[in-house]
Chain A
């Protein structure tokens, strides 16, 4: 990392480098793009993954934090910071041309903090309507409902995007039409059986062929990050379950880890075992549902029910452990809330045997079906470069040949003690993503097998004060959720509430890549590709 510091100072001499939890570099707003580009193109250790992009209201100034990481080694991380003191018309430079994933994130920052990004090709608000008054994540936001009254009027969609471009050193405000005048546009969503939630794709069609997709999100945006700023950490835990509800337990694990690391709480070993096993069960639960939904999107209803059938057994195990099925409230800061029940090992072991059989059945029934193969092979190709640029992680990213499993790169809980393979395929099509999930179920079974007989006796939860104060600083913890890297960022000012809390959602990256990989595919395949990406909407609309 010494070389990197040198590189940074060589590029931008005025950069301020600090050693915090991660190496943090603060630069002036007009130098950020240059520095990010240099870091991305650094041949020895390219920082080419934009893990998160967080808008911050730092009091005086409005700013953005970027976490860059390397696609070859995700344990190498670097935070870039920049900001502007102009609160009336804050402008920063966009990094969309360097990292495609920045596009939606910058639009989100604009909606929630009002920072506009120069050279972002489409500077509409993400999540919020264009006419929303105020910027919710600013500290001086007025939440008075009269400012934003609930309207029952039907409003036409306007497909015109404003943007700020830099032409010959001058800033030009302009608008751009998203669609052509003659485009045949259909709305897939927000109420549609195959968008897996209230997602809205405005789709321009040429016959059966998808010409362009415009993503509208925010139909169930709940402002969780804003709400969290007035809640204590144990209270915030419940929100994590409501993000990607299919990997609720893993998300919760992420926030627990972040708080535990920040306030230096030691988690008992028994709790670590239970957490890891529960995470893997949850991962299988999520993958089974993803498998089921993908087959359903391809029109195979029976396969859908088969996936549900197997998932039911996992839910029963959850039910017996802690009473919850989908959202299980198992992880708490310092450990787990409920101990495993006496027959837990027996149930899990019989499930492992059962599931292995069923995986073979899936193979026979669907994975080699000639119609299914025709609907998946070579469809929705995502290259490795695009996967990295869009920060597509999880089984989908690994299907494009990018090794990004945080359980391998930055092990947490017990993942450094167990033996498992990171499932990587290089085809990058729907079928690779499909097979990746099935193979990951097998790996999860393998992980559980190694742990289930060795759960040590002891406490299940460390002694934790009811009100947790995190020392001042910035903390980030990424974990491998079922759909990709789920991250929790906390900026604390020593209070019992976070000053700023941000969840890095894997699904947002998955959706942001949809317009790219669905272009020139058929409408039916658009649905099929959506199934293979396996995004969950509440995870995007935080």
Chain B
């Protein structure tokens, strides 16, 4: 229904054409194989490209926060800086550490990158840009993204470095705690939306985003999700695992070259993943802003391609995250855990009950105003 209007910029046109072209010339098996490989390659490329863009954006935005210029030498406005950095990191020597657990040491970065890669695949970027659409999408994302902590703990353990170890232990405590809050915040919305599948969830938000639909309860869940998501990505003010003023670089102190690059990439991608899940679950995903009954307005809005909406919403949330990161000092480990266990978790539990009551008593905005 939503895409009834003419949308020349939408990516579905291209993918549809490609699919039919392939199908006309070969058997079902080969079509699927080629498409799988294509999707996989595209996701990997997107992963790297998004990370590069994020790194550039963060450096530039931070620079403006801090009254600096940021990168401005490589390319126009320093646009090629992160490309240059990437090439540098690819060429760097991978240093082997004496008396470290060699196997675990090399395996650790892969856990990290695989976890964020697997989450990345389940994100709906736009209409027709959704690689895996599980019926338990929310659960899958929560489960898979928490695999990353294994990489962190292994790195800390296998480096044979006390700084890394402390960083990894902090990270473990932090991840386990905030995973809980993030999960509960998402569950609150699952209660509201009645589904765990991302595509259905997005479709349900066409005229009323979840953050408005559940009003009080949704807003609380949204704020908690942003906080705990921020904490999960190990970014300031929750960057204790790699608190550079205390632990030099925390769990990845001993890593160099591409292995460090994996951690670096995963950190940025996790920021993106958290923002995009928040977009999908709370802010209507890739859907344009639509108002029930305003058909002309809706037509114009949906003329803008869905992936632009998705990246636009995500960018706003990422900016928010950068803003927080570069404004606040770092929390201490006990303060961090206090915040989670004494405040966020109890609020969260009450919030779920509140949401259940809202849904059961028909007090959501959709019920009150009869929005579809």
List residues of chain A with CB under 8 Å of any chain B CB: 184, 186, 192-194, 205, 208, 295-303, 305-306, 309, 365-366, 369, 371-372, 374-375, 522-525, 527
Q: Measured between alpha carbons, how far is A525 from B327 in the docked complex, in Å?
A: 19
Measured CB to CB, the nearest residue on chain B to A191 is B248
User: How many pairs of residues, A versus B, come closer than 8 Å at their CB atoms?
Assistant: 81
Q: Are A369 and B328 in contact (CB under 8 A)?
A: yes
**Are A524 and B237 neighbours in the complex by a CB distance under 8 Å?**
no
Interface pair B68/A374, CB less than 8 Å apart: no
B227-274, CB < 8 A from A: 236-237, 239-240, 243-246, 248
Question: Beyond A374-B335, A375-B332, is A193–B327 a contact (Cβ under 8 Å)?
Answer: no
Contact between B333 and A524, CB atoms less than 8 A apart? yes
Q: Are A192 and B329 in contact (CB under 8 A)?
A: no
* Cα–Cα distance between A295 and B331 once the two chains are bound (Å): 12
Give every chain A residue within 8 A of B326 (Cβ-Cβ): 301-302
Report whether A193 and B248 are in contact in the complex, using a CB–CB cutoff of 8 Å: yes
Docked CA distance A351–B245 (Å): 31
**A299 lies within 8 A of B334 (CB):** no
Given A524-B240, A524-B333, A525-B332, A299-B245 contact (CB < 8 Å): yes
Question: B67 on the interface (CB 8 Å rule)?
Answer: yes
Q: List 14 A-B contacts (CB under 8 A).
A: A184-B162, A208-B170, A299-B330, A301-B236, A302-B326, A305-B67, A306-B67, A366-B329, A371-B329, A374-B335, A523-B166, A524-B240, A524-B333, A527-B245
Contacts of B334 in A (CB 8 A): 208, 522
Per-residue CB contact flags for chain B residues 334-355 toward chain A (1 = under 8 Å, else 0) read 1100000000000000000000
Contact indicator per residue, chain B 52-72, by CB within 8 Å of chain A (1) or not (0): 000000000010011110000
Give the distance in Å from the alpha carbon of A375 to the alpha carbon of B333 in the complex: 11
Known contacts A192-B248, A527-B245: does B332 contact A300 (CB below 8 Å)? no
Are A194 and B237 touching (Cβ within 8 A)? no
Interface SS of chain A? helix
Residue of A nearest to B335 (CB): A374
Extra inter-chain contacts (15) besides given A186-B163, A302-B62, CB under 8 Å:
A299-B239, A300-B327, A300-B330, A302-B65, A303-B329, A305-B67, A309-B67, A371-B330, A371-B335, A374-B331, A374-B332, A375-B329, A375-B330, A523-B246, A525-B332
Residues of B within 8 A of A192 (CB): 248
Bound together, the chains give a CA A525 to CA B333 distance in angstroms of 10
Decide: B245 and A186 in contact? CB cutoff 8 A. no
From residue A351, how far is it (CB to closest CB) to chain B in Å?
17
User: Contact: B245 with A296, CB < 8 Å?
Assistant: yes
Are A299 and B163 also in contact (CB < 8 A) when A371-B328, A374-B332, A522-B332 are? no
When the two chains form the complex, which single residue of A194, A205, A366 contacts B245, counting CB atoms closer than 8 Å? A194
From A296, A297, A299, name the one whose CB has the most chain B CB atoms within 10 angstroms.
A299
- The residues of B that contact A303 with a CB separation of less than 8 Å are 329
- Which residues in B have their C-beta under 8 angstroms from that of A295? 329
Among A186, A192, A371, which residue has the most Cβ atoms of chain B within 10 A?
A371
Q: Which residues of A contact B68 (CB under 8 A)?
A: 305
Chain A: minimal CB distance from B87 (Å): 26
Cβ contact within 8 Å between A299 and B236: yes
Q: Are A372 and B329 in contact (CB under 8 A)?
A: yes
